[in-house]
Chains A and B, each alone.
Chain A
Amino acid sequence: MDTLRFSQGTLLLTPEPPEALAPCFTFDNRTKEWRAPAYAYREIVLLYRQENLPLQDEAKAYASLALTLQRPIVPRPHQADALAAWQKARNHGVVSLPTGAGKTILAVLAIASVQRSTLVVVPTLDLVQQWRTVLGEFFGEEIGVLGGGEKKIAPLTVATYDTAKLMIERMGNQFGFLIVDECHHLPAPFYQLIALASLAPFRLGLSATLERSDGGEIRLFELMGDLVYEAHIGDMVNQVLAPYEVIQIPVSLDADERAIYEASRGVYLQFLRRNGIQMGTPEGWRQFLFRASRNSEGKAAFKAYREQKRIAQAARGKLDEIWNLLQLHSTESILIFTDDNAMAYEIGCELFLPVLTHKTKAAERKRMLDAFRSGEITVITTSKVLNEGVDVPQAQVGIVVSGSGVIREHVQRLGRILRHQPGKRAVLYEIVSHNTNEQFVNQRRRQHDAYQRSSSI
């Protein structure tokens, strides 16, 4: 009888594949064995069944579970539709829902329906804690955690992308169901291993922002299954998401800031012109970096580029505007977003505000988010770690102090304040240095339809 084994993210078949399965396997000259990638497990087992061939399956090490929901879930119509579409695709595929539309609940329903050991992969430690809490509450089980210094595997386990990537070759056969949250990250070269080396026959990818500038979503669908359900922010405002508006606040640079900004920008632009570099083209940035590293003039231009960017992003006037907004919304829950940690800590120190960055210790992160959810603190300043996934339904006001031109980042930031609560109306402020390059960056990131118009209310 043929025997299938799991080895370092691959499947080994002995003695050799039957004719019908030959295309699935490749003879590995290094080990003199027939090998297939672990993610082909589902296809291989189904083919054996289809051909009515005997197979000793020593590859899978995951269990069928008998999970029961500790409290019933009545799915919202879009969650029921998404679950049905995913089940119809034989428990395989990607679901795209806006932030706040209940992707985690959809995943809980999927786990309850599949009843297999499940690995949930998430991008940040805050999301690990969030998923651990939700899964623990709904299934009444101890949840395994991989990441942030914890290393415990359980039938339901949550891992960060970084830890899963390191461990998947050893544990890729221990889970029958793979859930990848914020799955737009998966096509990155190092993260692909998570999906390739897992034999999980059931897969669910979740994201609010599937588009990738490198077209990587095609690869995502190869690894996790096709896009089976999609809904947009505009479809869900009022019923599922809070109504919202986006307000731009222009800020003028102080005279000394303006002088340094103009001088630095002049040096930078002159270098671009002299070297015929067009930053609007896909090759522009790469050309600039290459030329800038070649001589002292280039190095000066690079320094000038960074200086004008720093001044625009961290203009003094922005602190005053933040202060005005804090007074205007003194009792509401506010998230303040910056492009880098330095600015986040500057705001935190100037206004005595909690700052949550990747440097914040895990215990204090949890304390901060719990305190925010309970209303003990009403403001959190953050750089990028709260961009994705973290569930803070109380957040009603968002203040974007600085950011990149990446559309995804800004849709995700908007999503943080859109969780529906009775009577809630969300406001996203964007503080932009007037008459600087930041205005163009701001325009670029507002190309998503969620930014084209505020909600109709």
Chain B
Amino acid sequence: MLTKDLLRYRVRTQKVYPGFIDPQDPELLTLAHSLLEIFENATTEQEVNDTLLQAGLDSHAIFPGLKKLLLDRCTPEAADPEVETHRWQMFAEAQRIRQETHFASRSAYQEAVAQCVEQSFDQVKAKLYQDLPQYRKLELTHLPTASGLLHRYNCALVQGLLLQAKQVSLEIGPLSLPEKRELLRSLKFHQLLVEFPSAEWTETGSYRLEISGPLTLFENVQLYGMKLASFFPRVLLLPQWKLSVELTLKGKPCTLEVSHKQGMVSHYAVRDHYVPPELAQFMDSMGELAPEWQIHMSTAFLHLGGQSYCCPDFTFEHASGQKVYLELFHRWHTSQLLPRVESLSHPEAPPVILGVCRSITRQKTLFPQIENSPWFQANGFFFTAFPRAKVVSSLLDSIYTR
């Protein structure tokens, strides 16, 4: 991320304009290439700095920002313990000599100390703090491409400004179910809260989400900037979006607006939404066993109140028009299972059948709570690898006749 001093932006009539760069600009691509080459070939940070100075690359305004982004990808290797041992020997010798003898000059003292270890002053001096991070070998991890670095710079400009954010609104275009899930999962991961637009979040609608943290309700201060900044690259993965930010820069309130139109590219990976073949098999079996129910992969977003939501896996639609949803819980997200059972137990909750992977039997506290829940006994079931159509079909019948 870029520190405050590396952010480039202009403020006009209380609007902030980040100094975005064109990642296709040949001149900038050449600069990025040269920088990457220097990082790949240099062994230490000091060497990087020396080479950059010689190459005269530091004249470009965005150079310090690009350098910081690359340094963030580097870690100095572990320090050599010998250097510290040698240093403390030198401290002891130097102190003894300083206290025992009065020297006519600083250089006489320097020579006297160096002679103790039979080296020249310059040799001792060079070795004394040789284990500082800038002198240690750099270990590079996943350096971006030249174009990736320039895209990352644009993203980092917005992230740096988001650190000062007080209020953030995100307008989003139509989203598929996996995209919605990803977005909501990411918000939850960053412990951010949103005000949901409505109980029904259809696949075609556009929405405006107010994103903040719990304390934003009381304190108009920038408490959640770091979380918002970390969340931002996830926004870049959305097909259509617009972010409106209220922030304070140099003590003055202003607004920042960015959107997909700026063409920013995320460095976060797009998750693979793998659909296993068992799903198709399950749908076929359901069609045979319960022909009165039409089954399809669900695109529904069910708001269960508060920050609780449900993105079911299947929607069953009866000939009469009644809809019932099926959500499957696997072992990797059981932490949400108990709150989900509580939410769905509410009389006004939508009709959802809950399938729970049998592996939770190993969870000694959670398993009895789920198994003994009256709601789960009437609306849930356990499955081993994949739900059995017969079990689901009988639950659908039971819900329909209620």
Q: Which residues of A contact B (CB under 8 A)?
A: 7-10, 26, 28-33, 35-37, 169, 189-190, 192-193, 196-197, 286, 319-320, 323, 326-327, 330-331, 345, 348-355, 359, 361, 364, 376-379
CB A402 to nearest CB in B, in angstroms, measures: 19
A331 contacts which chain B residues (CB < 8 A)?
99
Which positions 35-81 of chain B face chain A at CB distance < 8 Å? 79
Chain B residue contacts of A350, Cβ below 8 A:
106, 110, 125
Contact residues of B with A, CB < 8 Å? 79, 84, 90-95, 98-99, 102-103, 106, 109-110, 113, 124-125, 128-129, 132-133, 191, 193-196, 210, 212-215, 217-219, 221-223, 225-226, 250, 305-307
Residues on A with C-beta less than 8 A from B84 are: 364
- Closest B residue to A330 by CB, please name it: B99
CB neighbours of B91 from chain A (8 A): 352-354, 377
Inter-chain contact B94/A286, CB cutoff 8 Å: no
Residues of the B chain whose Cβ atoms lie less than 8 Å from the Cβ of A355: 129
Instruction: Indicate if the CB atoms of A323 and B215 lie closer than 8 Å.
Output: no
In contact, B94 and A351 (Cβ under 8 angstroms): yes
The listed residue with most A CB atoms (<10 A of its CB), out of B84, B91, B109, B191, is: B91
A352-B128, A359-B133 known; A190+B222 contact, CB < 8 A: yes
Q: How far is the CA of A30 from the CA of B196 in the complex (A)?
A: 7
Q: A31-B307, A352-B113, A355-B129 are in contact. List 10 more A-B contacts (CB 8 A).
A: A10-B214, A28-B217, A29-B195, A30-B193, A30-B194, A30-B196, A169-B191, A192-B219, A348-B128, A352-B124
Complex Cα distance, B106 from A326, in Å, reads: 11
Smallest CB separation, A199 vs chain B (Å): 13
Q: A189 and B98: CB pair below 8 A?
A: no
CB closest residue in chain B, given A352: B94
B223 touches A359 (CB 8 A): no
Please give me the residue from chain B that is nearest to A197 by CB atom. Answer: B215
A193 touching B103, Cβ below 8 Å: no
Cβ contact within 8 Å between A359 and B191: no
Query: Is A349 a contact partner of B214 (Cβ separation < 8 A)?
Result: no
- Smallest Cβ distance from A304 to chain B, in angstroms? 16
* A320/B128 in contact, CB under 8 A: no
Instruction: With A169-B191, A377-B91, A377-B95 as known contacts, state yes or no: A32 contacts B306, CB within 8 Å.
Output: yes
B109 touches A9 (CB 8 A): no
**Residue in A35, A192, A376 whose beta carbon sits within 8 Å of that of B217 in the complex:** A35
What residues on B are CB-neighbors of A326 within 8 Å?
Answer: 98
Cβ of B191 and Cβ of A8 under 8 Å apart?
Answer: yes
Residue of B99, B110, B193, B218 with most partner-chain A CB within 10 A: B218
**B62 vs chain A, min Cβ distance (A):** 12
Question: Contact between B98 and A330 (Cβ–Cβ < 8 Å)?
Answer: yes
Give the chain B neighbours of A29 by CB distance below 8 A: 195
A29 to B212, CA, bound (A): 12
Is the beta-carbon distance between A192 and B193 smaller than 8 angstroms? no
Do residues B103 and A196 form an inter-chain contact, with CB atoms below 8 A?
A: no
Give the CA-CA distance A313 to B132 in the complex, in Å: 23
Contact between B305 and A196 (Cβ–Cβ < 8 Å)?
no
Q: How far is the CB of B368 from chain A (nearest CB, A)?
A: 22
CB neighbours (8 Å) of A364 from chain B are 84
Q: How far apart sit A247 and B30, CA to CA, in the bound complex (Å)?
A: 55
* Contact for B213 among A8, A319, A376, CB less than 8 A: A8
Are A33 and B306 within 8 A (Cβ)? yes
CA distance A287 to B178 in the complex (A): 49
Q: How far does the Cβ of A263 sit from chain B's closest Cβ, in whole Å?
A: 21
- Which A-B residue pairs are the 3 nearest by beta carbons? A352-B94, A31-B306, A10-B214
Chain B residues with Cβ below 8 Å from A349 are 125, 128-129
Residue contact A8 to B132, C-beta cutoff 8 Å: no
Q: In the bound complex, what is the Cα–Cα distance between A376 and B98 (angstroms)?
A: 14
Q: How far apart are B171's CB and chain A's nearest CB, in angstroms?
A: 17
Beta-carbon contact of A353 and B215 below 8 Å: no
| Contact sample, A vs B, 14 pairs, CB 8 Å cutoff | A9-B214, A30-B194, A31-B193, A169-B214, A189-B221, A190-B223, A192-B223, A196-B215, A196-B223, A320-B106, A348-B128, A348-B129, A354-B91, A377-B95
A-side contacts of B226, CB under 8 Å: 190
Q: How far is the CA of A207 from the CA of B129 in the complex (A)?
A: 34
List of B residues within 8 angstroms of A32 by Cβ? 305-306
Question: Cα distance A32–B94 when bound, in Å?
Answer: 68
- Which residues of chain B are near A345, meaning CB under 8 Å? 129, 132
Question: A364 to B84, alpha carbons, bound, how many Å?
Answer: 9
Closest approach, in angstroms, between the C-beta of A324 and any C-beta of chain B? 9
> From residue B74, how far is it (CB to closest CB) to chain A in Å?
16
**CB proximity of A293 to chain B, nearest CB, Å:** 8
